[in-house]
Amino acid sequence: MSELVLIEPDAYGTKGVVGLTLNRPDAFNALSEAMLEALERALQDIADSDARVVVLAGAGRAFCAGHDIKEMRAEPALDYYRALFARCSHMMLTLQRMPQPVIARVHGIAAAAGCQLVAMCDLAVASSDARFAVSGVNLGLFCATPGVALSRNVSRKAAFEMLMTGEFIDAVTARERGLVNRVAAPDALDDAVRSLAATIAAKPREAVAAGKGLFYRQLESGIEDAYALASETMACNMMEDATLEGTQAFVEKRPPRWD
């Protein structure tokens, strides 16, 4: 059987960028239990590496169609579903907790847990032909866990509408609502992803990792705690060798000499 998650070091010809590709194209990259396990393992390995940026993509005609419904129906037991959704939630949180920024490269459809994947990635670049939905309600299953991620990306009413109707939105609407950062023509998608990934990969790894961790912690905090967290992060960041070099380069009006 082929690998469920393909790993490409130095993806897009850029050092430090790791490409991860969901590889169940015949199933529109549905998140089977084995796929969830493989993706979690790959993310953990990358988190512990010196990689700088991750690009998450899907093989074939779609990014990800969500959970594997056929597999879910094969074992209709409450304990099974509790374990399944707990495993999926843990994988989604790994995307946010790892130090490297994760960019979703989206084409085709991103539905239900596939839309959740996009929302949990730090950044997203979509093909103009991409479509997004949290469509479980059409099957009588409210997309509760995708709703957690979606409601932290788009406005409350926009998220609620998507969750209640199950209707698809196009890439431009997804950008307008804040679900994706950039939209590119299908034949320019990889160039757009490469540009964004290379820009981030060129920054000091320590600053990017500290910034990502702080970004999510402060979002879930009250404003006073958020400022306390941010102040401590900046103070520690100032002591990093890369920051000392960057600020000295600014003073001397020259480019920083980073590795």
Section 102-118 average pLDDT: 98
Looking at the structure, tell me whether residues 215 and 182 fall in a common domain: no
Let me know: does 119 contact 66? Beta carbons within 8 Å.
Answer: no
Gyration radius of the chain's alpha carbons:
19
Half-sphere exposure of 170 (CA within 13 A, CB side): 6
Confidence (pLDDT) at 131: 98
- The pLDDT tens digits for 8-43 are 999 999 999 999 999 999 999 999 999 999 999 999
CATH of the domain at 226: 1.10.12.10
Average pLDDT over all residues of the chain:
94
Give the residue, 116 or 226, on which the prediction is more confident.
Answer: 116
pLDDT for 163-193, tens place per residue? 999 999 999 999 999 999 999 999 999 999 9
Whether residue 83 is found in the same domain as residue 67? yes
Higher local confidence (pLDDT), 73 or 259: 73
| Residue 258 within a domain | no
Going by pLDDT thresholds of 50, 70 and 90, the confidence category of residue 102 is very high
Residue 120 in domain: yes
CA distance 76 to 134: 22
Judge if 170 and 89 occupy the same domain: yes
Q: How many domains does the chain have?
A: 2
> Could you give the CA distance from residue 85 to residue 198 in angstroms, rounded to a whole number?
34
Range(s) of the domain holding residue 233: 205-251
Burial 181-210 (b: 16+ CB within 10 A, else e): bbbbeeeebbebbbebbbebbebbbbebbb
CB hemisphere CA count around 80 (13 angstroms): 8
Average pLDDT over residues 109-118: 98
